[in-house]
Amino acid sequence: MFEIFEYDFMQRAFLAGLIIAILASVSGTFVVLRRYSMISETLAHSALVGVAVGLVAGFNPLWMAVIVAICSAWLIEYLRSAFSLYSDAIMAILLSGSLAVAVVIVSLGGAFNNSLFSYLFGSILSVSVEDIYTIAFFGTISLVLLLSFSKELYFVAYDEEVAQTNGIQVRFLNFLLVTVVAIIIALSIRVVGSLLIGALMVIPTIAALQFRVGFLPTVLISLVFAIFSVIFGMTLSFYFSLPSGATIVLSVLGVFIISLIVSKK
Amino acid sequence: MSIKFKVPIFDVKNLSYTASGQEILSNISLEIFNSEYIAIIGPNGGGKTTLVRMLLGLDKPSKGEVKIYGKRLKNFKEWNKIGYVPQRASHVDANFPATVLDIVKMGRTSKRKPFSRESKEDKEAVYDAMLKMDVLDLQDKMVGRLSGGQRQRVMCARALASKPEILILDEPNTGVDMVSQKRFYALLSKLNKEEKITIVFITHDIGVIADDIGRLFTINQKATICNNPKQALSCEDMSKLYGIEAHLVHNHKHGH
């Protein structure tokens, strides 16, 4: 029954998955409340450009993903403030544009293979010790930033203009949030995959919202949902040899459907 | 109590606002002093909300200048002194994960440092604000389940939690019944009289609060300032302002 924990690669995968579940659900609460779901999806695709460059040029794909995702987040924030009318169109362009760029880079570099597949849909086999260090390092920074500005982010999510008239630096906070989300997404693509990470960020919070409780309980419920989904999904991935991103997202969807049913009673 | 008292909280000079070629407000000048109770009335689209948004720096005037406590708006930093209760309490839907207590605590946000725990002072300010707005019994209720009147008082309590010197309220058009409305006005009058909080109030319903307000600004592209509100409430003035045959309910005390 517990032989799953005897494999080194599974221990690494669970550790990485646990950190990512925490990061994705805490940041996800702000992403959902701030209506940034589309941004997280776009950043996940931009991160692939970093992965592609890393694979082809021989750099650490995770580090490259973090760098490209941050640049992309800043570009989005800039474009959103400059052309606020077309904010969703900007996302759509960046999303498909960066996917195209990533595919071209990978194809030209001859790296279109299983390795890329694992970055698209996640893999429990591929988490290295180095990845754990990278995830823990950037993950800690992101979490500290999120927690230290959580009061402000919450206020801004509820009522941006009143927060502004209270002297809260709304532009700085928007910038901070997209940066942290970019980092977290880039870190997650190892385990969850870039096409599926958006779901792990958003769905646990939406499921938690169904229970209509205050802020802190909502964050905690979404945290529990995310951790459960990651562990359950990885276990499925191990026993059925399926991409872990897909099994994690299916688990979180299951949690969401059960939450819907339970909360409507 | 001498010279300092005479610096207006808001000093507005020749303020104009143009949006897509149309002048919404033209050449508005007014001053708001400490401890005043001011009502702003005018027809929909007349620019009341725009004026308030410019006072708060949320919209930029196309001409003119706003000074707060003698400072130009962009140099003003003490936003804690100003409490704002917007017209639409927020864009937020019924699903937002916030209890009334969560909402009122937001009012302390800019006074707290990152990572700091809630201080005794924070807790007292939040309690005090809820007490003054009579929402203590609602503190565990989800914000999405409040009635219009309750919501208005909760938003006001959030503004009060930062201990402002001036409260600016943009009254919602709909969703608040008469009974809650009168109760709310009574609470505001008390704040003004007992706590000396300056109140600026945008409303459609001048009849109900006419007894308490000190000055009345009527805004319909231009501003008229009236130092004796009861006189301003003649039907003639009203029809000038609204451009229609105004039907005015004078005062609730007469009964109708």
Give me chain B's average pLDDT, please. 81
pLDDT band of residue B26 (cuts 50, 70, 90) is: confident
pLDDT value of position B171: 79
Number of folded domains that form chain B: 1
On the question of pLDDT at B10 being above 80, the answer is: yes
Interface with A, mutate which of B50, B109, B119, B200 (most A CBs under 10 A): B109
CA torsion angle B223 B229 B235 B239 (round to 10) = 10
pLDDT value of position B208: 63
* Structural tokens at position B48: 């009341």
d(CA A35, CA B44): 30
On the question of pLDDT at B246 being above 50, the answer is: no
pLDDT value of position B239: 52
d(CA B3, CA A144): 47
Residue B168 maps to which CATH number? 3.40.50.300
d(CA B47, CA B219): 7
Which of these ranges, B89-93, B110-114, B176-180, has the smallest mean pLDDT?
Answer: B89-93
Q: Which domain holds residue B204?
A: 4-48+59-254
pLDDT value of position A181: 94
Is residue B54 included in any domain, yes or no?
Answer: no
Tell whether A101 is within 8 A of chain B (Cβ): no
Percent pLDDT > 70 in chain B is: 80
Rg (CA), chain A: 18
Tell whether A79 is within 8 A of chain B (Cβ): no
Q: Do B142 and A168 touch (CB under 8 A)?
A: no
**Residue B109 DSSP label:** G
d(CA A211, CA A259): 8
Determine the Cα angle at A23 with ends A17 and A24, to 5°: 85
* Structural tokens at position B47: 């620019």
Name the phi and psi angles at B222, rounded to 5.
-110, 165
* HEC profile of A158-210: HCHHHHHHCCCCHHHHHHHHHHHHHHHHHHHCCCCCCCCHHHHHHHHHHHHHC
ipTM: 0.84
Which residues in chain B touch residue A148, judged by CB atoms under 8 angstroms apart? 114-115
Q: Do B86 and A162 touch (CB under 8 A)?
A: yes
Helices A150-158 + A8-33 axis angle, to 10? 40
Q: Residue B240 corresponds to which amino acid?
A: K
pLDDT band of residue B82 (cuts 50, 70, 90) is: very high
pLDDT value of position A114: 65
Is residue B192 included in any domain, yes or no?
Answer: yes
Chain B CA closest to residue A158? B92
Q: Which of A3, A7, A10, A16 is nearest to A200 (CA)?
A: A16
Low-confidence stretches of chain A (pLDDT < 70) are 1-2, 84-85, 111-114
pLDDT value of position B7: 83
| pLDDT tens, residue by residue, B95-113 | 899 999 999 999 998 888 7
Is residue B159 included in any domain, yes or no?
Answer: yes
pLDDT value of position B234: 56
The number of angstroms, rounded, from the C-alpha of A251 to the middle of its chain's C-alpha atoms is 16
Which residues in chain B touch residue A167, judged by CB atoms under 8 angstroms apart? 77-80, 110
Q: Locate tokens 């690494």: which residue?
A: A12
d(CA A180, CA A194): 16
Q: Are B52 and B200 in contact (CB under 8 A)?
A: yes
pLDDT value of position B113: 76
d(CA B252, CA B256): 7
Which residues in chain A touch residue B77, judged by CB atoms under 8 angstroms apart? 167
pLDDT band of residue B255 (cuts 50, 70, 90) is: very low
pLDDT value of position B244: 43
pLDDT band of residue B146 (cuts 50, 70, 90) is: confident
Burial class (CB in 10 A: 0-12, 13-18, 19+), A89: exposed
Tell whether A214 is within 8 A of chain B (Cβ): yes
Element (H, E) at B13: strand B10-19
pLDDT value of position B173: 63
Tell whether A164 is within 8 A of chain B (Cβ): yes
d(CA B76, CA B69): 8
Of residues B175 and B46, more confidently modeled? B46
What CATH class has A2-195? mainly alpha
d(CA A147, CA B71): 34
| pLDDT tens, residue by residue, B203-242 | 876 666 667 788 888 888 777 777 666 665 554 555 555 5
Q: Residue A250 corresponds to which amino acid?
A: L
Q: Do A167 and B79 touch (CB under 8 A)?
A: yes
Q: Are A202 and A28 in contact (CB under 8 A)?
A: yes
Q: Are B183 and B149 in contact (CB under 8 A)?
A: yes
Q: Do A214 and B97 touch (CB under 8 A)?
A: yes
pLDDT value of position B1: 43
**Residue B64 DSSP label:** E
Is residue B77 included in any domain, yes or no?
Answer: yes
pLDDT value of position B251: 38
Q: Which of A27, A22, A63 is nearest to A230 (CA)?
A: A22
CA distance B137 to chain A (A): 16
Burial class (CB in 10 A: 0-12, 13-18, 19+), B251: middle
The number of angstroms, rounded, from the C-alpha of B208 to the middle of its chain's C-alpha atoms is 16
Is residue B225 included in any domain, yes or no?
Answer: yes
CA distances from residue A11 to A14, A122, B234 in whole angstroms, order as listed? 5, 16, 80
pLDDT value of position B174: 66
Is residue B107 included in any domain, yes or no?
Answer: yes
* Structural tokens at position B76: 């003003």
Which ranges of chain A does DSSP label H, i.e. alpha helix? 8-33, 37-57, 61-82, 87-108, 114-121, 129-148, 150-158, 160-165, 170-188, 197-209, 215-240, 244-264
d(CA B66, CA B73): 6
B105 in helix, strand or coil? helix
